[in-house]
Amino acid sequence: MTTLPPCPKCNSEYSYQDGAQLVCPECGHEWVPGEADAGDEAKVIKDAVGNVLADGDTVTVIKDLKVKGSSLVVKVGTKVRNIRLVDGDHDIDCKIDGIGQMGLKSEFVKKA
Ligand SMILES: [Zn+2]
Number of domains in the chain: 2
Instruction: Specify the amino acid at residue 38.
Output: A
pLDDT of res. 46:
95
pLDDT of res. 16:
92
Burial of 77 (0-12, 13-18, 19+ CB in 10 A): exposed
Q: What does the pLDDT average to over 51-64?
A: 96
Mean pLDDT over all residues of the chain? 89
Whether residue 26 sits in one domain with residue 68: no
Whether residue 23 sits in one domain with residue 62: no
Range of the domain at 2: 1-38
42: confidence class by pLDDT, cuts 50, 70, 90: low
CATH code of the domain containing 25: 2.20.25.10
Whether residue 69 sits in one domain with residue 34: no
Residue 83 Cα, ligand 1 centroid: separation in angstroms? Answer: 40
Residue 1 Cα, ligand 1 centroid: separation in angstroms? Answer: 22
Residue 40 Cα, ligand 1 centroid: separation in angstroms? Answer: 28
Q: Residue 81 falls within a domain, yes or no? A: yes
Q: What is the pTM of this model?
A: 0.61
Residues with CB under 5 A from ligand 1 (ion): 7, 9-10, 12, 24, 26-27, 29
In the three-class reduction of DSSP (H, G, I as helix; E, B as strand; rest coil), residue 107 is classed as helix
CA dist 42 and 14 (Å) reads 29
Instruction: Specify the amino acid at residue 13.
Output: E
37: confidence class by pLDDT, cuts 50, 70, 90: low
